Amino acid sequence: MIPLLIEKLRSVLPADRSFIALHEPNFQGHEWDYVKECLDTGWVSSVGKYVDLFEQQLAAYTGVHHAVAVVNGTAALHISLLLVGVEAGDEVLMPTLTFIATANAVTYCGAIPHFVDSEERTLGLDPRKLDAYLAEIAEVRGDGCFNKQTGRRIKAVVPMHTFGHPVDLDPLLDLCERYQLELVEDAAESLGSFYKGKHTGGFGRIAALSFNGNKVITTGGGGAILTNDPGLAQRAKHLTTTAKVPHKWEYNHDAVGYNYRLPNLNAALGCAQLEQLPGFLEQKRALAQHYQEALQDMAGLTFVTEPDFATSNYWLNAIVLDEAQAQLRDELLKATNEQGIMTRPFWTGMHKLPMFAQCPRMDLAVAESLERRTINIPSSTFLGGRHDEA
């Protein structure tokens, strides 16, 4: 299998590169011009026209009423959780198969991650299995939902749209209504992904995006809070600006705030990247199609495609080995990386990390299986052309 997989990958990837990264940024637009304008005018910090413009363009693209630009996706999640009322001692439901930022943001609130299983078709949180689990361990009272086993309040659920593939949100929204849970979308990886025609990040009261250097578009480091609630948006902007009360010269603050606002320099980069987003998405979907065609007849693995209810941005392409081939994962990772084709495994399940090992969790059989069998393959936007026709 290993030589054949490398051959299949090489049939899709450019032959003139000795090393192909997992996901590189693509700067082919007005990045230099916009960043230079910031340098020339001196507007480089968290105030400037590009911050405002970036927020406006993000809101317009995603279809939400408000976007608040912040320094990274973790900060966006942290503030989002605070704004929906997550408090110290609360439990927050999330997939164990997620980037550590999801669990870290919950911990920053003094709350406790509660790990949930995934489903194979989306690689994300399984709403039906979660529903059955909550029927056993949760109790809804007048003041919220409580874990009968720990006595703690379960305040929110954070679905993460894995590799850009949307979670099945309708049954999750129904679950949240019945169990009085706040839905906070971790849409860090899903800019350009749609669930039943609606952009991810607009289904709960609040959501988080990320613009790290390896995302579909990048601001270097950066993130955003999305919401349709004007009050939440105003509060998000206030808290991320150190909760400073507006005044021409005085420094008064009315809450514990955070220095989380995105600098104008980074927002300038983001504006240039957003202009190219439709083209990036087209290229990424083309790359996914090339992979699907190359790998469709290969025994022992499956190329991950978007679920039938969604349109994915295909942020990171992935293959899932059959259970019988799972033992080959590490050999495949070693061989591909030695051949200059950067691949990586799924994240380690959060419940396996020492700081989260004692957190509550449901049966995680599917997530543990997916962790053993999943490999990400190169996914940069500029790889979407047919290199064998060059």
Distant-in-sequence, close-in-space partners of 65: CB < 8 Å, separation ≥ 6: 59, 227, 228, 229, 230, 233
Q: Which fold has domain 2-23+277-384?
A: Aspartate Aminotransferase, domain 1 (3.90.1150)
Burial 101-140 (b: 16+ CB within 10 A, else e): bbbbbbbbbebbbbbbbbbeebbbbbbebbbebbeeebee
Q: pLDDT tens digits, residue range 217-275?
A: 999 999 999 999 999 999 999 999 999 999 999 999 999 999 999 999 999 999 999 99
Write down the pLDDT at residue 386.
54
Query: Which CATH number is 31-275 given?
Result: 3.40.640.10
**In the predicted structure, residue 310 carries a pLDDT above the cut 90:** yes
Residue 390 pLDDT class (50, 70, 90 cuts): very low
Q: pLDDT tens digits, residue range 166-183?
A: 999 999 999 999 999 999
Query: For the chain, which residues make up each domain, given as ranges?
Result: 2-23+277-384, 31-275
pTM equals 0.96
Max alpha carbon distance in the chain (Å)? 68
Write down the pLDDT at residue 378.
98
Q: pLDDT tens digits, residue range 321-339?
A: 999 999 999 999 999 999 9
Write down the pLDDT at residue 389.
46
